Structures are given as structure tokens and as C-alpha cells.
Amino acid sequence: MTATNGIVDKLDELVNTDTGELDRRIFSDEEIFDLEMERIFGRAWLFLCHESQIPKRGDFFEAPMGRDNVLVVRQRDGGIKALVNTCTHRGNAVCRAEEGNVRNFMCTYHGWTFDLAGELVGVPGMKEFYNDELDKSKYPLRKVAQLDTYKGFVFATMDPEAPPLAEFLGRTGRIGLDQIAERGDVEVVPGIQKFVLNTNWKFPVDNTFDYYHPQITHISAQAVGMIPSAADNIDGGGAKTPEGKDLAVQRLRTDTESVVMLAEYGHAISGPTFEALVSVVPPSSRGVFAWRERPEAIAALGPVGQMVGGHPHIFPNTWITVGAQLSLRVPRSATVTEVWWFNFRNRDDTPENQRAQLQRQIHMFGPAGFLEQEDGENWSQSTLQTLGGVARDIPQLLKMGLGRGKIIHEDGVARIEAPVNEHAQLWTYLAWKEWLKRPSWEQLRDNTTPGEHL
């Protein structure tokens, strides 16, 4: 299947990065969704899992890659392979479990059996029904085109032409993953949290960078003390800025220090600087940032990476939080998205600290997370409104800071220093358009290389 050129020709109308106006159809059109599956999820390096989830021979974890599902499997020799979870006989999934440990994968339809490397090793009735004529070596499970890891984070791509992972991630993507990796000896807490939202996947992705919504959307999270609020301060109990201002008002102030990092292929980091973030965290809670003092972390992040207090996002759908969590926004259809959460902990942390961190994580984001339930309501409503006969003709606006972003190039990173803005969202859609337009990796990279201005 190839993309319809009709849509490709219209992309500049659908996403106008000069005016900051988007056509709402990009959030519910099935043809556009098909094109995304082919040209974005069919080509990009996608996060699959963390090595700590599959430590032993035969351990596996099922991960989505577009409409395919792959089994990430620890091999006999300690290596990792990712096998497409579809039987080469007549297509049934060869594994129904989401994770586990196996000696081999036996298809539950007719019993064809594949080893950990995906080789077909067993065919019931080989002699009686196939007359020993079936060449098993011709029907292994299909593998991803390329697989690689960065500090324990496993990625793969279905495109043999894709550049190496390190190049794809670039300095900005690596700084994003370092926000977890440089905490020390980290592992994923067993049990990946997954839930479904009736939203187009791009709403949760662009919301990653949205620091305009918390003081309104998350007002109930403030009311119950989940995040600091103005009311807390009136009662004298909440977090304040060094100047004694309450946090909620601080978030609306135009002089809040924010930094936006933009990178090739659409990666971005956006939000408050680390200094601004720390200034609104009570001193008694600042221990969660101690990892940043590790010499290894200082070296890996460098001066630019140490500025990050906001949200890194690796295009197309991987978000890293400041609380050692990683989320995948998994598109299932134009209007349905699964949200997956991987919670990390330090192996050498005390059980009490590990428990406390997990409590913070799952109460913040995920199916029991306060913030994402509030966000999810907005995303579902926004998606629904892209279907209305009148509503869909009203453009989506990303005009905040438009044309005012002066890009500074330093230490391999392009950044804009600005108050709350929509630069990173605009960058995401600019890159999204380029992914759909450019079959050539070289052109894609060139057209998503930050210039001097946004």
C-alpha cells in the first residue's frame, strides 16, 4: 500500500507553520492515519522496552510498532531480537501474553513452533501431512529491520534505511533518555500500566509541552493537594517561589524561565528550566533531584542538558517525565489511543524510597493518575470536535510566541529561551508534516533541522 498523493499535496494547507493554524481533520481522518502508520510508525525508531524487563534467556515483552506487535526476546547468547508476532503459517498471533518467559513460541492455531530467535522448529504432521517437503528454514518469524539500545532503552525500526539509533536520537533525544538513565542503576517496576483514551494520539503528544493548561485543567489536582496551589499558599501550606509568590500564579507569569529544545526528526524538550522548577519545589522535597549531582550525570547532561526541568519527547510518541516515568502514546485508530506507562526505580534505593517514588508516579500519571485523567477529558473532547460538520472547519491554533523564537545553537542542541509558549508543539507538527512528505531520510533530516528562528 502506498500513500495517496492527494493528502501529501494538501499537507501545507493542513498544517500552516507560518500562521500557526492546523486543520482539525488531521486528528480524525482515517486516510491521514493510514499515512501516519506507513510513513511515521513504519519508519521511525520506536521505543520497545527497557532491558531490565527482559533480563533472562527466554524473557519477552510485547511492544507495538504501528499496527504490528513485536515480541522483544532475550536470546540464548544474551542478545535481543524483536520478532513480529504473527505466525508464518496463517497469521495467528504466536503469543497471546503481554510479557513472560518461554522456551519457544507455539502458535495456538495449528501448533507451529518457533524458537527464541524466531526460527520455525516444529510443524505438527510434517511427515504425515506435508510429506517432509516443507522447508522450515523459509518460514521464520519476521524480524524488525534494525534494533539497538541506548543505555538500556531498547528501540527498533521497520526501515532498513533508517539512520543509526544514536544519530536518530541526536543530542536532544539522548538528553531526554538521560533524565532516567543517569539516575544510576535503574530498572522498570514490574507491571506496565496501560489504558485506553478516545483521543487522536497527537493530542497527548503535543500536550507534553503544554505549560499553559495546568493552572486550569489541573485545578482539581490542586484542590486535593496533588500539586501545589494558590489555596495552599493562602493557608500557608503550599510551595512558593523564592519571591514568596504562589505557584499557580507563577505559572501564569510571563517571566517564568522556560527553555525549548528543538531537534532533527521532530524531537523536542520543553518546559521550565531546572532552576525554575526547583524554585517551586519545597526544600524538603528536593532530594528527588539528588541524582543530578552524580559526576556521571553532570558529564552526560552537559551544561545544556542540566537546564532541563521540563518534558523531553522523542518523536513520534515517547515522553519522559521529570519523575522517572516513560510513556508511550500508542495509536490504535485515528480516534483511539492506548497510553502506556513505564515506572522506573533505582535498584539500590531503599524499599521505603522505592515505594514512595512509585506512589508519586502512579498517582500523577497512568490509569490511577490524577493529572492524566483530567488531561484525557480534554483530549477526548478535542478529538470529538474534529468530527463536527461545522466544528472541523475551525482551525486549531498554535500562535503563542509565533515568530518570536530566536534559536540559540550550543553544545549540539538548538534552544529557545522564552516564557510559556507553543514553540515545541509547532515544531512537532512541522516535523509531523515533513515525515509524511519526505520518503528520503536525508530530506527529512534537512527539513527538520532547526534554523535561526521559529
- Measured on CA atoms in the order 186, 98, 40, 389, is the torsion positive or negative? negative
Measured from the CB atom, the residue of 246 and 375 that comes closer to Fe ion is: 375
Distance CA(267)–CA(278), nearest Å, equals: 24
Containing 63, the helix (H) or strand (E) segment is strand 59-65
Cβ 145 to ligand FES shortest distance, Å: 23
Q: Pick the piece of the chain touching Fe ion (CB under 5 A) from 50-58, 79-87, 97-105, 375-383.
A: 375-383
Residue 298 half-sphere exposure toward CB, CA atoms < 13 A: 4
Containing 199, the helix (H) or strand (E) segment is none
For residue 219, the Cα-to-chain-centroid distance in whole angstroms is 25
Measured from the CB atom, the residue of 57 and 89 that comes closer to ligand FES is: 89
Q: Which does residue 10 touch among Fe ion, ligand FES, none (CB within 5 to 8 A, set by kind)?
A: none
Angle among Cα 106, 329, 318 to the nearest 5 degrees reads 100
Q: Which does residue 375 touch among Fe ion, ligand FES, none (CB within 5 to 8 A, set by kind)?
A: Fe ion
Rounded to the nearest 10 degrees, how much is the dihedral formed by the CA atoms of 263, 267, 273, 277?
A: -170
- Helices marked H in 336-402 — which ranges? 351-364, 370-384
Determine contact, residues 246/233, Cβ cutoff 8 Å.
Answer: yes
Name the 3-class secondary structure at 234.
Answer: helix
Q: Which does residue 147 touch among Fe ion, ligand FES, none (CB within 5 to 8 A, set by kind)?
A: none
Of 258, 262, 260, the C-alpha closest to 277 is: 258
Cβ 221 to Fe ion shortest distance, Å: 9
Cβ 90 to ligand FES shortest distance, Å: 4
Measured from the CB atom, the residue of 157 and 337 that comes closer to Fe ion is: 337
Measured from the CB atom, the residue of 122 and 323 that comes closer to ligand FES is: 122
Residues 67 to 96 in contact with ligand FES, rule: CB under 6 A: 87, 89-92
Q: Pick the piece of the chain touching Fe ion (CB under 5 A) from 44-52, 233-241, 372-380, 405-413.
A: 372-380
Cβ 92 to ligand FES shortest distance, Å: 4
Cβ 71 to ligand FES shortest distance, Å: 14
Cβ 301 to ligand FES shortest distance, Å: 48
For the window 319-358, what string marks contact with Fe ion as x by the rule CB under 5 A?
A: ----------------------------------------
Which residues have CB under 8 Å from 109's CB, separation 6+?
Answer: 87, 89, 90, 92
Residues 388 to 407 in contact with ligand FES, rule: CB under 6 A: none
Determine contact, residues 40/11, Cβ cutoff 8 Å.
Answer: no
Name the 3-class secondary structure at 433.
Answer: helix
Cβ 144 to Fe ion shortest distance, Å: 32
Q: For Fe ion, which residue of 23, 375, 422, 434 counts as binding (CB under 5 A)? A: 375
Q: Pick the piece of the chain touching Fe ion (CB under 5 A) from 232-240, 339-347, 354-362, 370-378.
A: 370-378
Distance CA(253)–CA(420), nearest Å, equals: 8
Q: Measured between alpha carbons, how far is residue 349 from residues 109, 282, 345, 442 in Å?
A: 45, 22, 8, 44
Cβ 172 to Fe ion shortest distance, Å: 22
- Sheet of 153-157, strands arranged across: 46-50, 153-157, 146-150
Measured from the CB atom, the residue of 14 and 227 that comes closer to Fe ion is: 227
Measured from the CB atom, the residue of 123 and 320 that comes closer to ligand FES is: 123
For the window 93-112, what string marks contact with ligand FES as x by the rule CB under 6 A?
A: --------------x-xxxx
Measured from the CB atom, the residue of 89 and 445 that comes closer to ligand FES is: 89
Interface contacts to ligand FES, rule CB under 6 A: 87, 89-92, 107, 109-112
Interface contacts to Fe ion, rule CB under 5 A: 371, 375
